[in-house]
């Protein structure tokens, strides 16, 4: 309870100051509509089903891209960690892909795959793939070789070495990679929707800006921030349950 209050008092203070500033005229209500009006607008959007449509579209793209990219990226990272020749072959390519702004690849993917969901999902997957490959190879390389040699000297099989040494040692960093990749996936998803999607939170934000519907614009931004926080802390809670030895 104490940790929850500690985490929420700053956002609550900002919202209270925002509401007070709009009510007293210190803030322009057209540009800074009070949070109470945002709640009323959000209720109207929920009643019409509008908010659910945009949220579902964003979560679908996010989930498909994250799962595809993270699974393949982790597999690539493990292969790079176990086989030095694979690492030397792919390291420069992955480093270049990591430094490349992912949204800049969208026109290229649309040229190859056409305008549609496959290109968008693939771009999200690319962002997750690169991050998980980097975290996967780093996790394996950070396993102390002395533990592996000791287990072999005591007759441990390859499967037992993976289960008892590699897996417990690598899981903390792998989960860290999952959290970072999930945040990156959400960022890319919203950015994609801003530049040309019929639905999604990013599309809602863009349309609100074009029509100067500031309440809807703030709702979209706050919804994306809340979604990011929820996904982050959900994965962190799962990590605490599955990897209790990290702390």
The answer to whether residue 80 sits within a structural domain is yes
Q: Which residue has the tokens 């709640």?
A: 39
Number of folded domains in the chain? 1
The answer to whether residue 128 sits within a structural domain is yes
The answer to whether residue 222 sits within a structural domain is yes
Full-model pTM:
0.88
What are the 10-residue block averages of pLDDT along the chain, 247 residues in total?
A: 73 89 87 91 93 94 96 92 88 89 84 84 94 91 82 80 82 91 94 88 93 92 93 90 78
Look at residue 82 in the predicted model and tell me its pLDDT.
82
3 state SS for 178-236: HHHHHHHHHHHHHHHHHCCCCCCHHHHHHHHHHCCCHHHHHHHHHHHHHHHHHHHHHHH
Cα separations (Å) of 231 from 185, 217, 240?
Answer: 11, 21, 14
Two tokens, residue 135? 């975290």
The answer to whether residue 2 sits within a structural domain is no
Look at residue 177 in the predicted model and tell me its pLDDT.
92
List pLDDT tens digits, range 73-89. 999 998 998 888 988 89
List pLDDT tens digits, range 190-222. 999 998 788 999 999 999 999 989 999 999 999
Query: CA nearest 64: which of 124, 109, 119?
Result: 124
The answer to whether residue 8 sits within a structural domain is no
The answer to whether residue 41 sits within a structural domain is no
Look at residue 247 in the predicted model and tell me its pLDDT.
64
CATH code (residue 88)? 1.10.3720.10
The answer to whether residue 31 sits within a structural domain is no
Look at residue 228 in the predicted model and tell me its pLDDT.
93
Containing domain of residue 148, as a range?
A: 53-246
The answer to whether residue 32 sits within a structural domain is no
Q: For 83-116, where are the alpha helices, taking DSSP H only?
A: 84-99, 106-113
Two tokens, residue 244? 């209790």
């Amino acid at each position: 309870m104490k940790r929850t209050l500690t985490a929420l008092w700053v956002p609550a203070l900002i919202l209270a100051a925002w509401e007070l500033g709009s009510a007293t005229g210190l803030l322009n209500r057209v540009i800074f509509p009070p949070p109470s009006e945002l709640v009323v607008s959000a209720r109207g959007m929920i009643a019409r089903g509008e908010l659910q449509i945009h949220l579902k579209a964003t979560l679908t793209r996010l989930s498909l891209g994250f799962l595809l990219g993270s699974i393949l990226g982790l597999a690539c990272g493990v292969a790079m960690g176990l086989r030095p020749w694979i690492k030397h072959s792919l390291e420069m390519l992955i480093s270049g892909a990591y430094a490349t702004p992912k949204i800049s690849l969208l026109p290229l993917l649309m040229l190859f795959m056409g305008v549609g969901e496959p290109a968008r999902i693939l771009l999200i997957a690319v962002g997750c793939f690169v991050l998980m490959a980097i975290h996967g190879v780093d996790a394996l390389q950070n396993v102390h070789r002395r533990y592996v040699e000791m287990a072999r000297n005591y007759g441990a099989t390859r499967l037992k070495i993976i289960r008892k040494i590699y897996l417990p040692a690598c899981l903390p960093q792998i989960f860290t990679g999952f959290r970072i990749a999930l945040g990156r996936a959400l960022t890319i998803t919203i950015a994609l929707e801003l530049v040309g999607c019929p639905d999604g939170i990013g599309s809602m934000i863009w349309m609100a800006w074009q029509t100067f519907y500031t309440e809807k614009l703030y709702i979209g931004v706050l919804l994306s921030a809340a979604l990011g926080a929820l996904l982050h802390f959900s994965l962190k809670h799962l990590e605490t349950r599955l990897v209790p030895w990290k702390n």
